[in-house]
Amino acid sequence: MSLLEVDDLAIHFGGVKAVDGISFAVEPGEVFAIIGPNGAGKSTIFNLISRIYEPTRGRIRFDGQDITRLRAHDIARLGIARTFQNIELFDHSTVLANLLMGRHSHRATNVVQDILFLPKVRREERAHRRKVEEVIEFLELEAYRGKMIAGLPYGVRKVVEIGRALAIGPRLILLDEPASGLSVEETQDMAFWIEDMRREMGLTVLMVEHDMSLVTQVCDRVLAVANGRPLALGTPAEVQGHPDVQAAYLGT
């Protein structure tokens, strides 16, 4: 069974058909990319899956469960984490604090228990810290843990953004342009992390990316979209060689 199934997904903003009939399925352990020109609807697909937007039409299933009408925090709790194309961190908090906040959706205790600081809360707090430490080690963020986000180079903030998503311990991670704005060397590190998310963490990865060399290196399959519509689906080589994909990129 597919981990994520998207069926005839659509959202219209007034007259703009931002996403209009997108279907695909991501298998467990797969690294799957959505590519397409600017404005194609890629980030909107992520906003629909993570339920920031409500679809006009279509259905989304995760692990066999219909999640189309769930709320955003329920989607996170089921194990779908995401990053944002424009990094969304708390600039005046530390790396550690941002990663701990990423786990907020996973809290099982309530405010009264917090105040009383019951054993259950302490146990949960330890679990949060253990997971966050694991993420810090995985992404090699040790040197930055106590640093304020605002003072960090862009490439490091980009990694922390991914750490915030990993900290919830997801099964599926949505990465919106993980390599945008990164140097060649930083992009190579990103490629290794994405490969290790699958290999070491057992994650399934759905990403939007412009850097075709990264897509070719790490992705099993690719869906190309333009104007909210599907163009081609297949291996990176098949999709890149598809005449409709080439036409969309050349604007012909």
Tell me which of Mg ion, ligand ADP, none is bound by residue 36, counting a contact when its beta carbon lies within the kind-specific cut-off of 5 to 8 angstroms: ligand ADP
Tell me which of ligand ADP, Mg ion, none is bound by residue 252, counting a contact when its beta carbon lies within the kind-specific cut-off of 5 to 8 angstroms: none
Cβ proximity to ligand ADP: between 18 and 95 the closer is: 18
For helices 154-166 and 184-199, the axis angle rounded to 10 degrees is 10
Q: How many Å apart are CA 117 and CA 210, to the nearest integer?
A: 47
Binding string, residues 74-93; x marks residues near Mg ion by CB under 5 A: -----------x--------
The CB-of-70 to ligand ADP minimum distance in angstroms stands at: 20
The CB-of-236 to ligand ADP minimum distance in angstroms stands at: 18
- Counting contacts by CB under 5 A, is residue 47 touching Mg ion? no
Cβ proximity to ligand ADP: between 18 and 191 the closer is: 18
Query: Which residue reads 């003072």 in tokens?
Result: 151
Tell me which of ligand ADP, Mg ion, none is bound by residue 168, counting a contact when its beta carbon lies within the kind-specific cut-off of 5 to 8 angstroms: none
By CB under 6 A, name the binding residues for ligand ADP. Answer: 13, 16, 18, 36, 38-44
Cβ proximity to ligand ADP: between 52 and 148 the closer is: 52
Tell me which of ligand ADP, Mg ion, none is bound by residue 39, counting a contact when its beta carbon lies within the kind-specific cut-off of 5 to 8 angstroms: ligand ADP
- Counting contacts by CB under 5 A, is residue 43 touching Mg ion? yes
The CB-of-154 to ligand ADP minimum distance in angstroms stands at: 19
3-state SS of the chain?
CCCEEEEEEEEEECCEEEEEEEEEEECCCCEEEEECCCCCCHHHHHHHHCCCCCCCEEEEEECCEECCCCCHHHHHHHCEEECCCCCCCCCCCEHHHHHHHHCHHHCCCCHHHHHHCCHHHHHHHHHHHHHHHHHHHHCCCHHHCCCEHHHCCHHHHHHHHHHHHHCCCCCEEEEECCCCCCCHHHHHHHHHHHHHHHHCCCCEEEEECCCHHHHHHHCCEEEEEECCEEEEEECHHHHHCCHHHHHHHHCC
The CB-of-128 to Mg ion minimum distance in angstroms stands at: 30
The CB-of-219 to Mg ion minimum distance in angstroms stands at: 17
Q: Please identify the residue of the shown chain whose CB is closest to the bound ligand ADP.
A: 18
- Which residues form the interface with Mg ion (CB under 5 A)? 42-43, 85
